[in-house]
């Protein structure tokens, strides 16, 4: 696999440095796109880099506004088969701009992970090869009651999973979920704290949910869960819990619908309480096992 990387800004540079650790031999072309370009650009072709090399996959990181359209011209020039365009800020890529990119790509497969650490395999040869190593965090925690070691199976593209893993040793198991979120902030996560209207939450919060998801998958428990009781009448409210959940909007099965009843999967649940506050039947209970 041959990879071309387009990057801009501090976040783009951080991701580039992280993925170079694994894909240095496969990245054939790296191009820095200027920061602070106008949101609306009449002709993006002037920003098409020189010295492009044929590649299978384009990874675009940190671009804001119309400059994202440059991937379409680059894809044609280098015969790219697949594209990853991340978002760590709601200002980067509108739904309309995303549609315009897709309409201009013809047979090129593109994904738009938001945040980048939500990327998972999608059935595309090149995207999936990248997603084996970078995307939705995956870790393996060992120990009895305290963390003895944490092995990173899949790192976040920004490198935060590795940082979090290196700083969890010694914590009690029932502290790890909470502390993983703290460590992500300490890294620090560069995702935006502005509310993303498509997701209904901040992208930084969603990144936090992803590292906590990795912890819960490894430990197979959570101290804080939301449970749906027998008051649920989802067929009457149209399953507001499902519609409002930012993790569902990110693509995970945090809320699962079973005919007339909803269930909340604690592994994916970010414990943001949006569903609890929206439920018209008081059918969702917050349970804190540490109390």
**Pick from 114, 131, 148: which residue ends a domain?**
131
Burial class for 243, CB neighbours closer than 10 Å (0-12, 13-18, 19+):
middle
Going by C-alpha positions, the residue among 279, 283, 282, 284 that lies closest to residue 237 is 279
Mean pLDDT of the 62-84 span: 97
Asked whether residue 192 falls in the same domain as residue 248, the answer is no
239: domain range? 224-288
Indicate the pTM of the whole model: 0.94
Residue the block writes with tokens 């991937």: 71
CA distance 55 to 48: 15
**3-state secondary structure (DSSP) of residue 205:** helix
Asked whether residue 84 falls in the same domain as residue 189, the answer is no
Cβ contact 39:64 at 8 Å = yes
And the tokens for 9?
Answer: 């800004």
CA 287 to centroid of chain Cα atoms: 27
Q: How many domains does the chain have?
A: 3
CA distance 6 to 120: 20
Buried b (16+ CB within 10 A) or exposed e, 54-81: ebbbbbbbbbbbbbbbbbbebbeebebb
52 confidence band (pLDDT: 50, 70, 90)? very high
Q: Could you report the per-residue pLDDT of 191-236, keeping only the tens digit for each?
A: 999 999 999 999 999 999 999 999 999 999 998 999 999 999 999 9
Asked whether residue 199 falls in the same domain as residue 162, the answer is yes
Please tell me the total number of residues recorded for the chain in this structure: 291
Asked whether residue 229 falls in the same domain as residue 211, the answer is no
Asked whether residue 90 falls in the same domain as residue 162, the answer is no
The rounded mean pLDDT for the chain is 96
């Amino acid at each position: 696999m041959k990879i071309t990387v387009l990057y801009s800004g501090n976040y783009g540079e951080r991701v580039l440095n992280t993925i170079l650790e694994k894909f240095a031999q496969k990245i054939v072309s790296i191009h820095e796109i200027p920061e602070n370009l106008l949101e609306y650009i009449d002709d993006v072709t002037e920003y098409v880099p020189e010295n492009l090399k044929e590649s299978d996959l384009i990874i675009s990181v940190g671009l804001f506004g119309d400059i994202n359209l440059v991937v379409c011209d680059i894809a044609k020039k280098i015969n790219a088969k697949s594209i990853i365009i991340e978002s760590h800020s709601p200002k980067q890529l509108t739904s309309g701009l995303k549609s315009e990119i897709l309409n201009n790509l013809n047979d090129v497969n593109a994904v738009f992970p938001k945040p980048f650490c939500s990327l998972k395999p999608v059935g595309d040869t090149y995207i999936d090869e990248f997603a084996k190593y970078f995307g939705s965090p995956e870790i393996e925690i060992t120990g009895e009651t305290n963390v003895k070691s944490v092995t990173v199976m899949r790192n976040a593209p920004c490198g935060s999973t590795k940082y979090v893993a290196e700083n969890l040793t010694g914590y009690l198991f029932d502290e790890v979920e909470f502390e993983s979120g703290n460590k992500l902030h300490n890294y620090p996560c560069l995702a935006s704290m502005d509310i993303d209207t498509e997701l209904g939450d901040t992208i930084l919060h969603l990144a936090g949910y992803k590292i906590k998801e990795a912890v819960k998958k490894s430990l197979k428990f959570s101290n804080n869960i939301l449970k749906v009781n027998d008051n649920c009448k989802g067929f009457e409210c149209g399953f507001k819990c499902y519609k409002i959940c930012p993790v569902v909007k990110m693509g995970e099965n945090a809320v699962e619908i079973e005919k007339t009843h909803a269930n909340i999967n604690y592994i994916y649940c970010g414990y943001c309480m949006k569903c609890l506050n929206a439920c018209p039947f008081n059918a969702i209970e917050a349970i804190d096992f540490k109390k």
